[in-house]
Chain A
Amino acid sequence: MYQITCPHCGPRAQTEFTYERTTDSIVDPAAEPQTAMQALYTRANPMGLDDEIWRHTYGCRAWMVLTRHRVTHEIHAVKAIGPEALP
C-alpha cells in the first residue's frame, strides 16, 4: 500500500485514494471525436515514470497528479489540480 503525500493533507494511506487515469488519457469534452477517442484508447503506458490523476476520495476529495514510477512504485512528485487552492 502506497503512502501518498496529499498536497492538502500530507502523507496518507493509499486506501484513502482512488486512481483515475493517466494525464495523457484526459478527454477534453470539446475535442474532436478523433482526438477524443485517441486520448481514451491510446496511451503511452511507459515502463518508468508516468503522470497519473488520483483523487483523495476518502480524505479531502481533492484531485492531484502523481508522478509515479510504474516499476518501483516510487512517487516522485504530487501536484494539486482543481479549483484554485484557497488560503
Chain B
Amino acid sequence: MSGPTRTPSGEETVPFTFDGTTYHARPGDTLAAALLANGVGLVGRSFKYHRPRGIMTAGIEEPNALVTVGKGGRAEPNTRATDLFVYPGMVAMSQNRWPSLSFDVASIFGLAAPALGAGFYYKTFFGPAKHWMRYEGFIRRAAGLGNAPTEPDPDNFSQRAGFCDVLVVGSGPAGLKAALEAAEAGKRVMLVEQDSAPGGSLLRDPDPAIDPAAMVDRIRALGGEVLLRTTASGYWDHNFLTLTQRLAEPGEVPPHGFAQRLWHLRAGRVILATGLIERPVPFANNDHPGVMLSQAVRSYLRRWGVLPGKRVVIATNNDDAYLTAQALVEAGADVVALLDARASGPAAPAGVTVYHDARPSSVTGRKHALRKVTAVIGGSEQSFDVDLIAVSGGFVPVSHLHMQAGGKLNWSEEAQAFVPGETPQACETIGAALAPPPAPAVAPAGKAKKSFVDFQNDVSLADIDLAWQEGYRSVEHLKRYTTLGMATDQGKTSNMVALSRLAEKQGVSVPQAGLTTFRPPFTPVTMGLLAGAGARNAGAHVRRIPLHALHEAHDPIWQPLGYWFRPRAYPVDGETLAEASLREARTVRTVAGLSDVSTLGKFEVSGPDAAALLELVCATTVGKLAVGRGRYTFMLREDGMVQDDGTVWRLAEDRYLLTSSTGGADRMAHFISYVRNSLRPDLKCSVVNVQEHYAGIALAGPKARGILAALIGAEPPRHMGYAPGVLAGVPVHVLAASYSGERAFEIHVEATHADKVWQAIEAATRAEGGAPYGLEAMELLRIEKGHVVVGGEVDGRSTPHDLGLGGMLNKVGGFIGAAGLTRPALSGPNRNNLVGLVSLDGPIPEGGMLIQRAGQSPQGHVTAAARRILEGVPIALALLQGGHRRHGEELIVTSPTRGEKARVRVTAPHFYDPAGERYRD
C-alpha cells in the first residue's frame, strides 16, 4: 500500500463526505489533511485538460485541490481544500469531472489537450464565426470550475467598521511579536490570521521558545483584538483595509445566521508579517497527485500527523527542504533521494542520500500517488520508485498587500525573489517576507509541454514558449495570452516561475522582465459578502411611506419608485391594473379621488433672504408671491437644462415651502445646499428638508372643494392659494395645486398624524362617490393634462423652451442656469420639443420612435402613452424635432422592439381643459 496515510489515534471523530463517500477527520483537520489521512490523493480535475490533480500545498495558495462544499444555496464552489476546516456533516464534492472524478471522459479521450494551447481563444476569432460557435459549446462543457449555486444564499453577511492604531497581518513569529509589543505599548491592536490557529510557520516548524496561544491570550488581555479565519484581502487608500472573516466554515450552517463578515478597517499603522510562499519546480507531469511542496509535506507531518507518502524523493534548490527530509525520517518515511540542484548543501539527516547538481525531469503516477521519479543527475538520468516527491524551488515573499498599498519591490538576486521595499502608506513589512532564504535559479530539466507553471489555468512552460514565439514580449501580454496567473489563485505559485522563463527568453534579468499588477482581493471573496445585508432587496432598504399600513389594508398593487414603494392602483372585484387605474382616473374626472403624494421633495425655506435664495434655485419668479399664494416652478442645471419641477408657496412673510419631484428629492436637497452654503453663504436664511416631516395627500376632482370645505370647516383657498387649517383635529397645510387637471388640493400634515387625516378625507370622499387613486391613474391624468414628469419629458436634455415653459422664465435672469440657456444651440429650430400625439388608428406604443415614413431616422420619441380618460382615444406625449411648429402634421410611431406601429397627428400637449377652466370654482 502506497500513498498518503495516517495512523488512527482515536480522535477521528468528525464525519464528512467527499464525492458521496463518508470519511472521518480529526478536529482541526483541513479537508486536504483529512483526505490525505484517508488515503485520498486524487481530489480534482484540471481546468482545461482534465488532468488528475491532488493536493500540492497546505495553505491558501493551493491551485489544484478545489472543491465545492455545502449544499443548495449555501454551496460554495472553488474552495481550496487546504483552506477549509472540516466540521461534522461537511459535504464536499470534486469539480470539473464527468461522470466521476476517477473516470473522467474528457481526460481519458484526451479531448482537450491538443486544442487548447496558449492563445486558443484569440486564434479561434481569426477563423470563420461558425467555428467559434462550435468551439464555444465544447469549451463550455470541457473547461470549468465548480458551478455557482442556483438557489439564493440562505445566510446573512455582516459588514462592520473597525478601527485600530496598529493592524498586524499574519500571526507567525514576527507578527505575534509585533502585535504583542504594540499592545504592551498601549496601542489599540488588531491581529488577523487567515488560518484557524495562530502561529504561521510555527505550526509547521514549532519553536519551544514561542507559545502562540499564550501570546494571543496576552494580546487579548491587553485589549487587543485577535481574529482568526480572517484574511486581509484588500489594501486601499489612506490605510483602509478590507478584512474577510469566516464566522462559519464554507457550507456550514452559521450559528448566528451570519456566514462571514467584511471588516472595513481603518488602521493607524499596518504591519505586514505575511511570510513566504514556496515555489514549485517545473518538470514533466509535475501536476500529478503525489507532487507536493516541501513545506506542505512538513505541515502535514507535524501539524496534522499525516504522512503524505512513504517513499519520498525531495527536490530542492535551497536548504529549507533538508528540514523536510529530517521530518520525514522522524515520521518513519523512507527518503529515497534528496536531489539538490546546487553543487553543495548542508548536512543531510542520517540515511538520506543527497545528489548534487540533480534536478527532477519527470514523474509517472498512479491514481492517488506517484509511481516513479526520473531525475537528471550530473549528465545522466536516474529513476526512483517513490509515491511522493517534495519540491522546493525557492520562496516568494507575500507582498500582495504591500503592493496594493502602492509599495515598491526590491530584487534579491540571492533568493531570486522580489522583496517588499518602500511604501507610500503607513505600512511596513516584517519577518520572513523580508528575508527569503537563498535559492539560486535552476534551469528546468523536463519536457516543457507537460511542465506546468500555472496549475489552475493549465499553463505549461511550452505555453510560455509558444507565446514568446508568437511575439508576445511584455509580461502583461504574456499574462493575457496564456491566462497565466489569472485563475482564482491569482498566480501565487506560478507567477515567479513564469517570470523566470520569460526573463530567460528575453535574455534579461527577472526585474527587467517586469511584474504584473497586484490587485485585491488576496484570496477569493464571496459575492454575498460584498453585498452585505443588501444582498436582499436589490441592495437597498425599501423606504416606507408614512401611510404604508393604511394602504396595505386596501391590498393595492405596489409600485417601486426609486427606493420608495407607492400604491399603483387599488383594484376592486378582481380588476386588472388597467381596469382599476382607468376607473380611478374616471372617478377623479367626474367625482373626486385622493392619493398619497408623501414622497414629494419638500423644503422649508425661512429667513429674510429666503426669497433671494429661491430666485437663484428656481428659474421662475418667486419674490413677487404674496403670502398665501403659490406657483408652479422649475429648476435648471447650470447648463440650462431643466433638472426638476415643483411648486413654491409663501407660507408667511419670511417662510416658503418648495416642493420637488419624488425621484429628484435627494438631488434637489444637495443642489439647494450647494447654492445656499457654497455659492451664497452670505444669505440670511435656513433651508430644512421636510420631505419626511410632512405626509402629503392629494384630493382632486369636481367635488374636491366641497369635500374639503366640509372637512376643514372653511372655504378652501382658490387655485394656487395656500391656507393653514385643521382637519380631523390635526393642523394641516392646504395647498390648492393640481397635477390632474381638476380642481385639486395637496394637504400636507405632520407624518405622525397623517393616518387620521387620510381616514377622514377617504371617508368623506367615498361618501360622495369618490375613491383613492394610485400612481397609474395619476399618470393617465397628467398625460391628458399635458403635465411633464421628471425622468420622462424632463430627461436632462430639455430646456424650458423645449417643454413649452419658456414663457414662465424669470425675465430678470439671475437664476442658476440663466447663463447656460443663452447658448445659441439651445434656441436652434430643430431641438426636441414637447408635443401631443393623437392616434389616427390603434394604441400608441410607449417609447416608440417618431418617423415620417418607413426607413427614416427617428425624429423624436414617445415619452408617455395613454388614452383619453373619458373618450378612450389613444394619446401620447412626445419629444419631436422642431415639434412646436409641427402641430397638425401626420407621423408614424414605430416600436420595432415591440413590433407595434400607429399613425398619429401632432398636437399641442394639452388634451384636457387647455384653458384651465376647471380650476375655477
Determine which of A40, A55, A61, A62 lies in contact with B820 in the assembled complex, contact meaning CB atoms within 8 Å: A40
Q: Is B544 positioned at the interface, with any CB of A under 8 Å from its CB? A: no
**Partner among B424, B677, B678, B823 whose Cβ is within 8 Å of the Cβ of A72:** B424
Query: Of A3, A29, A36, A57, which is in contact with the most chain B CB atoms at under 10 Å from its CB?
Result: A29
| Residues of chain A contacted by B818 (CB below 8 angstroms) | 29
Q: Give the interface segment out of B29-37, B236-244, B433-441, B549-557.
A: B236-244
Q: Are A63 and B820 in contact (CB under 8 A)?
A: no
Q: Which residues of A contact B239 (CB under 8 A)?
A: 3
* In the complex, A33 has a CB within 8 A of chain B: yes
- B822: Cβ under 8 A from any A Cβ: yes
Q: Are A40 and B638 in contact, with the CB atoms below 8 A?
A: yes
Closest chain A CB from B304 CB (angstroms) = 39
B-chain residues with CB within 8 Å of residue A74 when the two chains form the complex: 424
Residue of B nearest to A53 (CB): B678
Interface residues of A in 1-37 (CB under 8 A from B): 1-3, 13, 18, 20, 26-33, 36-37
Q: Which of B237, B616, B815 has the most CB of A within 10 A?
A: B237
Chain A CB within 8 A of B904 CB: no
With contact pairs A2-B238, A33-B822 given, residues A82 and B677 touching in the complex (Cβ less than 8 Å): yes
Q: Please tell me if B266 contacts chain A, counting CB pairs below 8 Å.
A: yes
A36 touches B678 (CB 8 A): no
Interface residues on B, range: 20 to 34
Beta-carbon contact of A13 and B678 below 8 Å: no
A30 to B638 Cα, complex, angstroms: 12
Interface residues of A in 47-87 (CB under 8 A from B): 53, 55, 57, 61-63, 72-75, 81-84
B822 near A55: Cβ-Cβ < 8 Å: no
Contacts of B815 in A (CB 8 A): 29
Decide if B816 touches A20 in the complex (CB within 8 Å).
no
Q: Are A73 and B238 in contact (CB under 8 A)?
A: yes
Q: Are A29 and B679 in contact (CB under 8 A)?
A: yes
Q: Which of B266, B406, B639, B814 contacts A13 (CB under 8 A)? A: B266
Complex CA–CA separation, A36 to B822 (angstroms): 11
Once the chains bind, are B264 and A81 in contact (CB under 8 Å)? Answer: no
A63:B238 contact, CB within 8 angstroms = no
Residue on A with the closest CB to B638? A27
Q: Which of B161, B616, B674 contacts A20 (CB 8 A)?
A: B674
Residue among B238, B240, B820 making CB contact with A36, cutoff 8 Å = B820
Given known pairs A2-B238, A36-B820, A37-B820, the reply for A63 and B678 (CB within 8 Å) is yes
Contact B670 A18 (CB under 8 A): yes
In terms of DSSP, what is the predominant structure of the interface of chain A? loop
Please state if B673 and A33 are interface contacts (CB–CB under 8 Å): no
B186 within 8 A of A: no
Q: Select one of B236, B238, B682, B814 contacting A29, CB under 8 A.
A: B814
**Known: A61-B673, A63-B677. Contact between A13 and B820, CB under 8 A?**
no
Judging by beta carbons under 8 Å apart, are B237 and A37 in contact? no
Instruction: Give B368 Cβ to nearest chain A Cβ, in Å.
Output: 47
Contact call A29/B240, Cβ cutoff below 8 A: no
How far, in Å, is A59 (CB) from chain B's closest CB?
Answer: 13
CB pair A3–B240 under 8 Å, yes or no, is yes
Whether B677 pairs with A83 at a CB distance below 8 angstroms is yes
User: Considering the complex, which residues of chain B in the window 677-716 have a beta carbon less than 8 Å from any beta carbon of chain A?
Assistant: 677-679, 681-682
Q: List chain A residues, Cβ under 8 A from B820.
A: 33, 36-37, 40
| Residue of B237, B406, B616, B816 touching A2 (CB-CB under 8 A) | B237
How many residues from A make CB contacts under 8 Å with B? 31
The interface residues of chain B lying within 8 Å CB-to-CB of A73 are 237-238
Knowing A57-B670, A63-B678, A82-B681, say if A1 contacts B819 (CB, 8 Å).
Answer: no
Of A1, A3, A32, A84, which contacts B681 at CB under 8 A? A84
Whether A1 contacts B678 in the complex (CB less than 8 A), given A30-B814, A33-B823, A40-B638, comes out as no
Give the nearest-CB partner of B239 in chain A: A3
Chain B residues with CB under 8 Å of A13's CB are: 161, 240, 264, 266
Asked if B816 contacts A29 (CB within 8 A), the reply is yes
CB distance from A63 to the nearest CB of B (A): 5
Beta-carbon contact of B822 and A3 below 8 Å? no
* Chain B, residue nearest A83 (CB): B681
Q: Judge whether A81 and B238 touch: CB under 8 Å.
A: no
Q: For B673, give its contact among A1, A3, A55 (CB under 8 Å).
A: A55
Q: In the assembled complex, which residues on chain A have CB atoms less than 8 Å from the CB atom of B674?
A: 20, 55, 63
Question: Is B264's CB under 8 angstroms from A1's CB?
Answer: yes
CA distance A20 to B237 in the complex (A): 20
Residues of B within 8 Å of A3, CB to CB, are 238-240, 266
Give the residues in chain A near B406, CB-CB below 8 Å: 72
Residues of chain B lying within 8 A (CB to CB) of residue A27: 638, 816, 819
Bound Cα distance from A27 to B815, whole angstroms: 12
Contacts of A81 in B (CB 8 A): 677-678, 681
Q: How far is the CB of A86 from chain B (nearest CB, A)?
A: 13
Residue of A nearest to B819 (CB): A36
Q: What is the distance, in angstroms, from A48's C-beta to the closest C-beta of chain B?
A: 15
Assess whether B236 is in contact with A1, with CB atoms less than 8 Å apart.
Answer: yes
Inside 8 A of A53's CB, which chain B residues have their CB? 678
Contacts of B638 in A (CB 8 A): 27, 36, 40
Known: A1-B240, A40-B638, A55-B670. A32 touches B819 (CB 8 A): yes
> CA–CA, A33 to B616, complex, Å?
16
A27 to B816, CA, bound (A): 9
Judge whether A26 and B236 touch: CB under 8 Å. Answer: no
Do B639 and A40 touch across chains, with their CB atoms under 8 A apart?
yes
A28 to B406, CA, bound (A): 39
Contact with A along B818-831 (1 / 0, CB 8 A): 11101100000000
Cα separation A32 to B239 with both chains bound (whole Å) = 44
On whether the beta carbons of B823 and A1 are closer than 8 Å, the reply is no
Q: How far does the Cβ of B364 sit from chain A's closest Cβ, in whole Å?
A: 52
A37 touches B819 (CB 8 A): yes
- Which 7 pairs of residues, A with B, have the shortest CB-CB distance? A36-B819, A82-B677, A3-B238, A33-B819, A33-B822, A83-B681, A63-B678
- 30 pairs from A and B in contact (CB 8 Å cutoff): A1-B264, A2-B237, A2-B238, A3-B239, A13-B264, A20-B678, A26-B678, A27-B816, A27-B819, A29-B616, A29-B815, A29-B819, A30-B814, A31-B819, A33-B819, A33-B820, A33-B822, A33-B823, A37-B823, A55-B670, A55-B673, A55-B678, A63-B673, A63-B674, A63-B678, A74-B424, A81-B681, A82-B678, A83-B677, A83-B681
Residues of B within 8 A of A (CB): 161, 236-240, 264, 266, 406, 424, 616, 638-639, 670, 673-674, 677-679, 681-682, 814-816, 818-820, 822-823
Apart from A13-B161, A55-B678, A82-B678, 6 more pairs, CB < 8 Å: A2-B238, A3-B238, A26-B678, A29-B816, A32-B819, A72-B424
